[in-house]
Amino acid sequence: MRSAPTIMHLDMDAFFAAAEQAAKPSLRGKAVVVGGLGPRGVVSTASYEARAFGVHSAMPMGQARRLAPHAAYLVPRFTLYREISEQVMRLLGALSPLVEPLSLDEAFVDLEAGKVAFDARSAREAGERLRSDIKSVTGLTGSVGLAASKMLAKIGSERAKPDGLVLIEPGTERDLLAPLSVRTLPGVGPATGDHLRRAGITSVGEIAEAGSDELVRLLGRAHGASLYAMALALDERPVVAEREGKSVSVEDTYDVDIHDRVRVRGEVARLADRCVSRLRESGRSGRTVVLKVRRFDFSTLTRSETLRGPTDDPAVVREAAARLLEGVDTTGGVRLLGVGVSGLADYTQEDLFAQAATERLAAEVAAREKEPAPSAEPAAPEPAVRHWRPGRDVTHRVHGPGWVQGSGVGRVTVRFETPQSPPGRVRTFPVDDPDLSPSEPLPLVRP
């Protein structure tokens, strides 16, 4: 391990919800929940105001609505989140060539490799400067942990939330870790935590006292030895710079294990769609679909299926992931699901005959649906009706930019405001109002 706290972990604060509050002046200081709004939707991010009511990520959206009925419930706007993430990652790249992104809002940075920090003082200065730069560039806040290892830097950023910085001085790690719950350590989920609790081990310090042999006996060689080393604050993992991806994948970890097989299937389908969205954004396609399942006992299973050719078709990836899931036993519960595509290529090679058959079938179905009843008069074609989802950006020919606050019964309610304006007025229109149209997100900070 290092002798100086030159590994940084940055974690943006309630990222999706904070971005929505910054974009929508009327929601600042109020409870905001971002996620899937359908019957089986889950919370992606909750603002700190919503967390005060007990709402948290991965919670079923129905439960969140019961806990915080007056919160604003919005669909995610990944175009905006990716734009902000790119701004943040550029700031991190200016600090060091070794930046390891973990997600859109989280990354490790090796400050020593960037020659911006060699001791506690210079590391703290770099962290405070980064937090200030993030606020001025994006308008959002991030929390920073600084330590001599990745594990401790991440623990530091958690203790710094929200909008803070915690530096863990080398030599103080064991004392810091000792009183913390065993769940603090990476790899300790509900099942492992319960197993340790039944053995009388509830804190990190008690893991260290138990010794390596006891941990191996309780948890197995690999898991037990790893937890014992972490309890001693030993973590030699380097910060690994982002490389050109050999695969594209997405995964979600659930705070509460999923037992409902129907919901597991729905989550896999949703992850497959997200994975394909990322695949298309990168201009790639892939031929191997990978399913990752981490079960209640922390055992992780990976299954894969190689297709006849590269694809970026969401239906193909969904179906392959569903087939892979059929071979996995999820009876005891699932705590993590992931879908990925590997074997990347810069083109697609779809089965043209299958594609033609699909298109022909779709055309036949559409033709049958349009056929009038034998005795009925020919019906005039119905105009297409837009689906306005809460939180989406819109613009009105007269009133300008705004966002959808809600819709139903043929009406859509829009609040007209921008990131730089005061809270705006609310107006209601027919859902097919020709003057109202979808638009792209506005920048949070004025250029």
**Residue at 288: amino acid letter:** T
φ, ψ of residue 392 to 5 degrees: the values are -70, 150
> Shortest CA distance to 25 belongs to which of 414, 393, 424?
424
Answer for the pair 126, 8: CB distance below 8 angstroms, yes or no: yes
**Residue at 420: amino acid letter:** Q
Residue that has been written with the tokens 């999820």 in this structure: 330
Nearest-angstrom CA–CA distance, 403 and 393 = 5
Structural tokens at position 307: 């297709």
> Shortest CA distance to 386 belongs to which of 422, 333, 421, 435?
435
Structural tokens at position 271: 């992850």
Nearest-angstrom CA–CA distance, 99 and 57 = 26
CB neighbour class for 280 (10 Å; exposed up to 12, middle 13-18, buried from 19): middle
Annotated catalytic residue 125: no
Structural tokens at position 125: 């200065």
Give the side-chain half-sphere CA count within 13 A for 202. 3
Cβ atoms within 10 Å, residue 372:
9
Cβ atoms within 10 Å, residue 215:
24
Distances (CA, A) of 332 to 257, 272, 301, 428: 9, 23, 14, 48
Q: Which of 20, 49, 100, 106 is catalytic?
A: 106
Cβ atoms within 10 Å, residue 423:
12
Grouping H, G, I as helix, E, B as strand and the rest as coil, residue 308 is: strand
φ, ψ of residue 90 to 5 degrees: the values are -65, -40
* 162 upstream amide cis, omega within 30 of 0: yes
Grouping H, G, I as helix, E, B as strand and the rest as coil, residue 173 is: helix
CA 369 from centre of chain: 39
Contacts of 306 (CB under 8 A, 6+ apart): 287, 288, 343
Structural tokens at position 417: 């405001």
Q: What residues act catalytically? A: 106
